[in-house]
Structure 1
Amino acid sequence: MMSDYVGSSLLLRDVTQRSAGGYLCIASNGHPPSISKRIIVSVNFVPEVMGPKPTTWASLGSTVSLTCLFTAHPAPRVVWMRENYLGSQMLNEEYFTVTPQDGHPPYTHNMTLNMRNLISSDFGIYTCIIRNLLGEAQATTILRGKS
């Protein structure tokens, strides 16, 4: 969203994560040259997450992807947890990818866990956990087997 404001200072009220981004100040007195300065505004906030469906179905030997869409600043620590009949396991960055989400507010990313050739121990409860200095958010899905 672009808009113009004329004045010697810009006051940002009710700042949210959508307020983050670049602002361009252009000074002009009607005689060239105009002078401009770009200011980057960062906004810190508690993580927010939208996870996969509550239940995901897949067959043995198949491929499945679980994705959480999250937004957070400052940069969060992200992990997937898996709970099954073998216990709990933290899945670190070797197991999933984090990619920026185009067309969304700044600091928005997808965290995708891709699993191929599923075996019985892959089925269970998966939780994506997003944590930064201000707090934590998580979303859970149950990966169930279908015949």
Structure 2
Amino acid sequence: MPQPRSLHLETDLDNDKTENSNAGDHNATQPQSPPNFSKVDELVGLIVKPAGNMLKLRCPATGNPAPNITWLKNDLEPQRAIGPIHMTKWTLRMEDLVVEDGGNYTCIVCNILGCINHTFKVDII
């Protein structure tokens, strides 16, 4: 006697569930968690650098779904009069610093469960 078979027809509702479960790029096998700074020792308050040097600010964080990061300088999008600002994953980097590069740099790390932030006071001398 043949074995009974079941048939599942994929509906639009099934597709919505699949797409929503993948939203936010999170690891479904791990419990969801809000952002958390993973290297607190890198989160110093005051950084003093001589003009002409390089500055690297890092705010590495974990969370599930994976958090994103936004950088601000004095509460605005960071901009420089001279030279680029390199932003990669958790790092903001600037070379050939000038006095005008000084200010309060804030990293804001967020996922769907919340946000954390840290502000670096940067003085260029």
Shorter-chain TM-score bucket reads 0.5 to 0.7
The percent of aligned pairs where both chains have the same amino acid is 26
Which residue of 62, 81, 89 maps to 1:71?
Answer: 62
Structure number with higher helix proportion: 2
Return closer, same or farther for 1:134/1:90 CA change in 2, 3 Å cut-off.
farther
Aligned length: 91
Q: Is the 8 A contact 1:77 1:131 kept in 2?
A: yes
1:32-81, Cα deviation, whole Å (9 max, x unpaired): xxxxxxxx722211111235210011111111111112111112221111
Spell out the pairing of 1:103-142 with structure 2 (5 A cutoff). 111-142=90-121
How far did residue 90 of structure 1 move? 5.0
Quote the Cα distance in structure 2 between the aligned partners of 1:97 and 1:88: 18
What TM-score do you get using the length of structure 2 for normalisation? 0.64
SS of aligned partner of 1:88: coil
Q: Is the 8 A contact 2:47 2:120 kept in 1?
A: yes
Gapped regions of structure 1 (runs ≥ 5): 1-20, 22-39, 99-110
Return closer, same or farther for 1:142/1:121 CA change in 2, 3 Å cut-off.
same
How far did residue 95 of structure 1 move? 3.1
Return closer, same or farther for 1:136/1:90 CA change in 2, 3 Å cut-off.
farther
Find the counterpart in structure 1 of residue 77 from structure 2.
Answer: 89
Structure number with higher strand proportion: 1
Q: Is the 8 A contact 2:70 2:107 kept in 1?
A: yes
What TM-score do you get using the length of structure 1 for normalisation? 0.55
1:99-124, Cα deviation, whole Å (9 max, x unpaired): xxxxxxxxxxxx11111011222110
